Amino acid sequence: MSKTHKDNRPSRFRLVIIDDETHQHLFKLRFTKTTGTVAIISTVVMFTAIIFCLIAFTPVRTFIPGYPDARTKRAAIQNAIRIDSLESVIYRWELYSENLRRVVEGEEPLKIDSIINARHEPKTIEADLADLARKDSILRQNVKEEEQFDISSDRDKRNLPIEGLHFFTPLKGVVSQGYDPAIHPYVDITAPSGSVVKATLDGTVIYAGWSDESGNTIQIQHEGDIVSIYKHNEKLLKKVGEKVTAGSPIALVGNTGSLSTGEHLHFELWHKGETVDPAKYINF
């Protein structure tokens, strides 16, 4: 007759701490598999919670690599202040351009109250800018159509003085070195490599090529005996003889040429054979 095999695996356990000399029981703990598993899991969860509280609510978190400290937060605040200042400068120039357009077209300039209220209505500003762009396109088209049938011999004599021209910014960036008529008769504008360089006025490309010192260089002849020069470009987008309009892309910012020490645009502005300070007419 076969014997019934019973499950001899232990189901209850006992943990005992005994004095090695006197054999006295110092600590005794009885537990099962279930209670032992629950105890281990509870211990791990409690240990994790304690570590989390130490990191989240005590200064210990500042020792973690990459965690922002007081200096990092202060730098972030200073950068936010600088950005706000730059936005204010851009906004002032937009208002200046709008008032200049209104004066030229014989309209009333913007009032201070309307300007203040407009700053709190970004959607209105965007709509106004879109309307300005539409009106500018219409104005350009009208002028083009008028000049198409203008056969007057004085046509070439109607050039505005340089102070009355509206220069487009060739590159938005940081002026790393300003204009000095004796030592540095041009400006250097720092910007990330690949940024788009734009023509400052309507004109014709009279030079587009490479030199060891200046790298990729492009020169544009404008009306009123004005020449603009753009050096150290990564790539040129226009060729000699091409017509360009103000604000159209002509090159990409780079670091070419032996005289360049970093990604930037070397920008020169010439009027009647002499260099002039571009910062007087352009807001970089």
Instruction: Say which CATH number the domain at 189 has.
Output: 2.70.70.10
- Evaluated on CA atoms 179, 192, 213, 217, the torsion sign reads negative
**Pair 233, 251 in one domain:** yes
Could you please report the per-residue DSSP string of 202-251?
Answer: SEEEEEEEEETTTEEEEEEEETTTEEEEEEEEEEE---TT-EE-TT-EEE
In terms of Cα–Cα distance, which of 241, 237, 257 is closest to 249?
237
- Asked if residue 67 is part of any domain, the answer here is no
- Identify whether the C-beta of residue 269 lies closer than 8 Å to the C-beta of residue 222: no
pLDDT the model gives residue 31: 77
The domain of 17 spans 12-57
**Pair 21, 112 in one domain:** no
- Asked if residue 69 is part of any domain, the answer here is no
Domain termination site, one of 157, 189, 218: 157
User: Which residues are CB-contacts of 132 (< 8 A; sequence separation ≥ 6)?
Assistant: 98, 101
Tens digits of pLDDT across the chain (284 residues): 445 555 566 778 788 888 878 878 777 888 788 888 888 898 999 999 988 887 777 777 766 766 666 677 777 788 888 887 788 788 778 877 877 777 777 777 766 555 555 555 555 556 666 776 777 777 777 766 655 544 444 444 455 678 788 899 999 999 999 999 889 999 999 999 999 999 999 999 999 999 999 999 999 999 989 999 999 999 999 999 999 999 999 999 999 999 998 999 999 999 999 999 999 999 88
